[in-house]
Amino acid sequence: MCGRSSLTKTEKELEARFKASFYSEDLEKYNPLPNYNVAPTHVMPVIKNKDKDHFAPLRWGLIPFWAKDHKIGYKMINARIETLHEKAAFKQALQKRRCIIPMDGYYEWKKMGKGKVPHRIVLKDREIFAVAGLWEKWKSPMGEAVESFTVITQDASASIVHIHDRMPAILTCDAESVWIDEGISTQDALSIIHPYADEQIRAYPVSKRVGKVSENDAELIEEVVDGALPGAQTALF
């Protein structure tokens, strides 16, 4: 499961990386960057297959178009790649509404003794990477249109499976354009997703404060040495 991530870069860095631009009104309304502790329900920039040249602000936690209310989105933050074809919430989106989700890290909790220690998992070059996702448009009973997304997950790479057995489906740079190509079949799109290369991944322990959604500052992504960062407080999670 991937329930927390980070995107600490500027909009200019994202625009340069993905050759896509932000709409000014979206930046003014949502001000999504930087976010050191992205959590479900947060609105974050993604690139949809329907508009590859722009970032769109989508809510994390997919709300199927047939849902009666938005609460189902809390259960739809991840989508297992092995069962995408089987799930009513995902199978149509897999065919018609694929997206890429920018991140520069994500968090998982490793069981240690009677507790859990949060780790941040990044690419060794600390650069932005893209995760395969699905998006959906839902209309509330009041007529409000809400666009949302889910993170596709797969088996973890060997170097991090001791932390958690699942990981986001990180795409190689060559695979990014394929994933959101509407001319590519579902089968071909899924065939480009593989566990990311072990030698390019790094995991390190971070402050337990990341377990609290309200905590969101640059210290959260710093590596913990000898148990805790100076001045950090333990949060229950």
Closest CA to 109 of 2, 215, 181: 2
pLDDT tens, residue order, the chain (237 aa): 789 999 999 999 999 999 999 999 999 999 999 999 999 999 999 999 999 999 999 999 999 999 999 999 999 999 999 999 999 999 999 999 999 999 999 999 999 888 999 999 999 988 999 999 999 999 998 889 999 999 999 999 999 999 999 999 999 999 999 999 999 999 999 999 998 889 999 999 999 999 999 999 999 999 998 654 433 333 332
The per-residue pLDDT for range 131-173, each reduced to its tens digit, is 999 999 999 988 899 999 999 999 999 999 999 999 999 999 9
HEC string for 88-140: CCCHHHHHHCEEEEEECEEEEEEEECCEEEEEEEEECCCCCEEEEEEEEEEEC
Active site residue 127: no
Helix/strand/coil for 228: coil
Out of 3.20.20.70, 3.40.50.12160, 3.90.1680.10, 3.40.50.150, the CATH code matching 4-103+129-198 is: 3.90.1680.10
Active site residue 108: yes
The catalytic position among 11, 15, 99, 108 is 108
Q: CA geometry: angle at 100 spanning 130 and 61, to 5°? A: 110
Question: What is the reported pLDDT for 232?
Answer: 39
Closest CA to 30 of 19, 20, 41: 41
Closest CA to 132 of 163, 96, 175, 174: 175
Closest CA to 149 of 167, 137, 164: 137
Per-residue CA distances from 29 to 10, 127, 144, 204 (Å):
16, 26, 16, 33
Helix/strand/coil for 17: helix
Question: What is the reported pLDDT for 226?
Answer: 64
| Cα Rg of the chain (Å, integer) | 17
Question: What is the reported pLDDT for 61?
Answer: 98
Report how far residue 112's alpha carbon sits from residue 162's, in angstroms, rounded to the nearest whole number: 11
* Residue 79 · residue 61 · CB < 8 Å: no
Of all helices (H) and strands (E), which one includes residue 171?
Answer: strand 170-171
Report how far residue 168's alpha carbon sits from residue 166's, in angstroms, rounded to the nearest whole number: 7
**Taking the domains of the chain in order of start, what are their residue ranges?**
4-103+129-198
Report how far residue 149's alpha carbon sits from residue 73's, in angstroms, rounded to the nearest whole number: 9
